[in-house]
A and B are shown apart, each in its own frame.
Chain A
Amino acid sequence: MTIRVQKESFDPWRVLAAHQEAHARDWVGRYGATAVFVGSLRDFNQGHAVSGMTLEHYPGMTEGYLEKISAEARARWELLDTLLIHRYGPLLPGEPIVLVAVWSVQRDAAFAACRYLIDELKTRAPFWKQESTPDGLRWVEEKKL
């Protein structure tokens, strides 16, 4: 179970390759499914052009919340491992914001746990997006479910 809340940009595919490589000896032959979600910054949102974004977070609570949902996912599904990375600070369009990866024996658990993690993160993890638009800075409003 790995969680990182970081300011630095990252390449999700390199991170995934490195994570699998680091665990190759323990995992070889044990997992049959890897589900991955990568969220990236668009250059448009809710009818506005977006030239950049700043992500604010609640240091400490954010990590605690991500650990909590990762532990919950491992309790609900049979998983080998979970990896969760989320950016904070300034971001540019095209950059990855979030990576969720789940390794499991079978696809049902992998898909379900990956979906659970990104949905819980989006609705409860204390992050706030502020976009730069032609009209100035704008706090992104919560997605209505």
Chain B
Amino acid sequence: MPSITVRYFASLREHRGRDQEQVEAAGLRCAADVWSRVSAKPLPANTLIAINQEYATPESAVRAGDEVAFFPPVTGG
């Protein structure tokens, strides 16, 4: 089954209760679709998105084999 790997970090990882999961790629066109597949709740405000470890937007296209990450604003440095 062609799938997409979904990863979560920091408070969003705790909110989701897991650090990653696989979802079936069929029917998923963009990052926002991926979130809708894993959660019935809207994407929390200020959530950042990365596709294959590059910053992306909710409208960015996804395909089978991608790694899509959702995480809160960063606080390094």
Residues of chain B at interface, number, CB under 8 A: 18
Q: Smallest distance from the beta carbon of B65 to chain A beta carbons, Å? A: 16
* Count: A-B pairs, CB below 8 Å: 71
Binds B, one of A12-20, A21-29, A70-78, A137-145: A137-145
0/1 string, A106-145, CB within 8 A of B gives 1 = 0000000000001001111111111000000001111100
B74 and A142: CB pair below 8 A?
Answer: yes
By a CB distance below 8 angstroms, the chain B residues around A139 are 10-11, 72, 75
Q: At the interface, yes or no: B34 with Cβ under 8 Å from chain A? A: no
Q: Smallest distance from the beta carbon of A136 to chain B beta carbons, Å? A: 13
> Contacts A121-B76, A128-B74, A129-B75 hold; do A61 and B53 have CB atoms under 8 A apart?
yes
Known: A58-B7, A126-B71, A128-B11. 11 other contacts (CB 8 A): A58-B69, A61-B53, A121-B76, A124-B55, A126-B50, A126-B74, A127-B77, A128-B72, A128-B75, A129-B75, A139-B75
* Interface of A toward B, CB cutoff 8 Å: 39, 55-58, 60-61, 64, 86, 97-98, 118, 121-130, 139-143
